[in-house]
Amino acid sequence: MKIIACYSNKGGVGKTATSVNLAYASAHAGNNTLLCDLDPQGAAGFYYRVKPSRKLVEQAFFKDVDKFTKAIRASDFDKLDIIPANMTYRDFDIFLARMKNSRSRLKKALSALDNEYDIIILDCPPNISRLSENVFKVSDSIIVPVIPTTLSERTFLQLIEFFNEHKLNKKKLLPFFSMVQKQKKLHKTTMERLHKQYKRILSSEIPFSSDIEKMGIHRAPVLSYAKSKAAAKAYKNLWQEIKSKV
């Protein structure tokens, strides 16, 4: 079982679209896949038409593995299951902080699924918090969407700094360029510069695309309704590159 987190400390960078499409690509490639929607906004679940779970309350999430697994829902796609977000644990960063040995709890809950899933994808909320720190520890890889703009670059650097400060394993970070608009000079030059600076930035990139924006209308991954379009192919390539590194 490999745990892949999709994380950004900045919102609106295409993080959820990435989680949703990578989970689909993983399942489509034959892996038993679980997508965990940890973002309280519940967008990943929305895209798969899975309603937020009422059963899943904070305490149950970390204390009772059985209840945790009961929250899992089959998606409409083969080999892909979802844990929908729960609106009641909006503040569960604080909740986590209160709990003792919190760092190991999430891992415990996830490894109970070891025999069931090949790939677990975590769609994380966009901030650096206790939960994020937990996520950084348990994940085998952390996918970081970066829009090739100054602001996005800055938040990416902050993330690296955070890893340095907390002595976290930076090798887990797999940044890639998201919402790329090649015709913009800024995007182009930022990408060239960062590629030189950080060798670990993935070569696959996701273009800015109206097909991706339409996910909200279709309520399905791009790969399922527009699989021949450039955006879908880009996600497929991204998954293949990630899979080769995990």
**Residues in 79-98 that interact with another protein by CB under 8 A:** 79, 81
Give the range of 76-84, 125-133, 151-159, 232-240 binding another protein by CB under 8 A: 76-84
Which ranges in 71-213 belong to alpha helices (H)? 92-98, 102-111, 130-138, 150-165, 185-197, 210-213
Q: Does 78 bind another protein (CB under 8 A)?
A: yes
User: Hey, is 89 helix, strand or coil?
Assistant: helix
Rule CB under 8 A: choose which of 11, 12, 49, 91 binds another protein.
Answer: 49
Residues of span 200-219 touching another protein by CB under 8 A: 219
Both tokens of 157, joined, read 């650097």
Nearest alpha carbon to residue 22 among 124, 120, 138: 120
- Residue 171 has a CB neighbour count (10 Å cut-off) of 11
The Cα–Cα gap between 43 and 72 comes to 16
Q: Select the residue interacting with another protein from 70, 154, 184, 200 (CB under 8 A).
A: 70
Q: Determine, following the binding rule CB under 8 A, whether residue 71 of this chain makes contact with another protein.
A: yes
3-state helix, strand, coil in the chain (%, to 5): 50, 15, 35
Residue 85 tokens read as 């977000």
CB of 28 to another protein, least distance (A): 12
Instruction: Please say which residue, 18 or 31, places its beta carbon nearer to another protein.
Output: 31
Q: Which is nearer to another protein, 73 or 107 (CB)?
A: 73
Q: Is 245 in the site for another protein (CB under 8 A)?
A: no
DSSP lists the bridge partners of residue 73 as 82
- Considering only residues 50 to 69 of the shown chain, the ones binding another protein according to CB under 8 A are 50-51
Contact with another protein (CB under 8 A) among 67, 73, 214, 243:
73
- Smallest distance, Å, CB 225 to another protein? 13
- Three-state DSSP class for 81? strand
Our finding on whether 192 is near another protein (CB under 8 A) is: no
Selected range binding another protein among 9-17, 48-56, 174-182, 199-207, rule: CB under 8 A: 48-56
Q: Identify which of residues 66 and 165 has a Cβ nearer to another protein in the complex.
A: 66
Question: What torsion, rounded to 10 degrees, do the Cα atoms 89, 8, 14, 29 define?
Answer: -90
Closer to another protein by CB, 87 or 157: give it. Answer: 87
Candidate residues 22, 23, 72, 180; the one interacting with another protein per rule CB under 8 A: 72
* Element spanning 61, H or E: helix 58-63
Per CB under 8 A, 171 contacts another protein: no
The closest alpha carbon to 143, from 47, 12, 239, 221, belongs to: 239
Rounded to whole angstroms, the maximal C-alpha distance in the chain is: 52
Verify binding: residue 48, another protein, rule CB under 8 A.
yes
List residues near another protein by CB under 8 A: 32, 48-51, 70-74, 76, 78-79, 81, 219
